[in-house]
A and B are shown apart, each in its own frame.
Chain A
């Protein structure tokens, strides 16, 4: 603990607490809890109505497919790129590192438009060629996965890179000198050391991917029963005055994200004690 003599006076401490708690409450906790309240305003009827709606059912399925694919891709590439950034020197490394942060600063809607420009069947750079080869990217699942991968790209990398820096490469060198090849070293030494960073990155990516709206809306075309994800359904139902369904679906999305965070915080302390 901090030295008691260095602490602020009691009044200041209380003021800081009240401000911090009030801020988070007004901005995050209260609005989110209202979603839950509206969802359960009529008991379980709201949720049941939403889950019986085939449009909602299909959209939840789409969200699951898109989010899980994006998370798998981002995990594999995220860990790979992190290793590349931390363990190797190459020309253009700083440019790559800066590019990885781009999805954080660019609006998802811009990402969606950018992907259209490249992969659109009618005017994209690759789109026509791909379409002739029978691969539909835009207005289909691949495009939606790509958009989601794009927006969630930095999350795994930004979790893993600092941990890789911190553990250094001596353990890996020791493993190599003991006869382990690159794959064995990664599996037995590197991966266990960065495990929790990867888990955190995955959870954050999953939460981000479940909630993606702008980029997916542009590239999916927002076609009900086909390319509509849960977030798109929430917006559509809300516009169509089906408030209860909108709130219920929104609640499901929020619940999934909260569940991810809870699972991790339950798992993590156990691991550290052993």
Chain B
């Protein structure tokens, strides 16, 4: 295990950012810390980097006890959401920073910087200042700078959060390919479930300072441990007291399927190939059903329909947590 986090707790005043969190992050993989804002995922990343200290618990990096090590002794690379570019230095100088601090010989620094700039496709910008780069380029520079010191682990805090949607998608692909090339243990924080599902080998879902579930993207999507994980990883709707994905609902115009729930279509929205139906049943709120254009042919607002989860679809009872104190 590359990073072992054991019973880490952290408070900011009365606010509990992390509550007894334990997680092991495997070597060489790309792990996502996924969760809503304020859930504690960035705090956990900053504790791994040493930029924040844990109130309790311990952190080991590559087998070394690191709980009380200052950040400069942990040999981690950290990439910030807002790049944290050294504004007064050129791109090349930014990348060289860690190596110069380590007093590496000049020719080695030059060679390594050239290599890394090539890796992040910024060779032609070596002598520019960060202010002359686009957001995506700045973030690639920050990544090269973090990789320059050959860190044991690479930590990325919402690395694409400040970029526009298109660049974000490009960089996401690029990060995955880069990781396949470099194989450094990487942990990145995101609140975007699509990003986590697409890029990560393993996802740790964090909410309210606690870990909700750990697993591969497939495991989390197909077998969410609770309603939070299920609803965070993709769209959900409530059918007959169960959370179910809107595309996992079968719709028929008769009640022949056992357990199907009757309802009336109240609204029908078409977005390209996809059709979204709002179906009013006996329970509030309306059930959301998505299907392709072909399947929705012939349906219109006012049609009477019967709904049932598709065979084999994952459903989670909604009352899991909202039951007041009965569970505890």
Q: Does A178 contact B (CB under 8 A)?
A: yes
Complex CA gap A115/B276 in Å reads 79
A184 touches B80 (CB 8 A): no
Complex CA gap A170/B79 in Å reads 10
Known: A173-B51, A174-B78, A184-B101. A179 touches B84 (CB 8 A): no
B87 touches A177 (CB 8 A): no
B101 touches A174 (CB 8 A): no
Number of interface residues of A (CB under 8 A): 17
B88 touches A177 (CB 8 A): no
Q: Does B236 contact A (CB under 8 A)?
A: no
Q: Does A171 contact B (CB under 8 A)?
A: yes
Complex CA gap A107/B161 in Å reads 51
Nearest-CB residue, chain A, relative to B82: A170
Q: How far is the CB of A267 from chain B (nearest CB, A)?
A: 16
B101 touches A192 (CB 8 A): no
Q: Which has the most chain B C-beta neighbours within 10 Å: A178, A179, A188, A193?
A: A178
B72 touches A176 (CB 8 A): yes
Q: Does A199 contact B (CB under 8 A)?
A: no
A175 touches B97 (CB 8 A): yes
Nearest-CB residue, chain A, relative to B75: A179
B88 touches A180 (CB 8 A): no
Q: How far is the CB of B92 from chain A (nearest CB, A)?
A: 15
Which residues of chain A from 141 to 200 have any CB-CB distance to chain B below 8 Å in the complex?
167, 170-171, 173-181, 184, 188-189, 192-193
Which residues of chain B from 145 to 160 have any CB-CB distance to chain A below 8 Å in the complex?
145-146, 148-149
Complex CA gap A56/B316 in Å reads 91
B82 touches A177 (CB 8 A): no
Complex CA gap A171/B77 in Å reads 13
Q: How far is the CB of A272 from chain B (nearest CB, A)?
A: 11
Complex CA gap A176/B16 in Å reads 26
B149 touches A179 (CB 8 A): yes
Q: Which among A167, A176, A178 is the interface contact of B51 at CB below 8 angstroms? A: A176
A193 touches B88 (CB 8 A): yes
Neighbouring A residues of B78 by C-beta, 8 Å = 173-174, 177
Q: Which among A174, A181, A184 is the interface contact of B86 at CB below 8 angstroms? A: A174
Neighbouring B residues of A181 by C-beta, 8 Å = 70, 72
Known: A176-B51, A178-B98, A179-B102. A171 touches B71 (CB 8 A): no
Contacts beyond the supplied A177-B50, A177-B146: 4 A-B pairs with Cβ under 8 Å? A170-B82, A174-B78, A177-B71, A178-B146
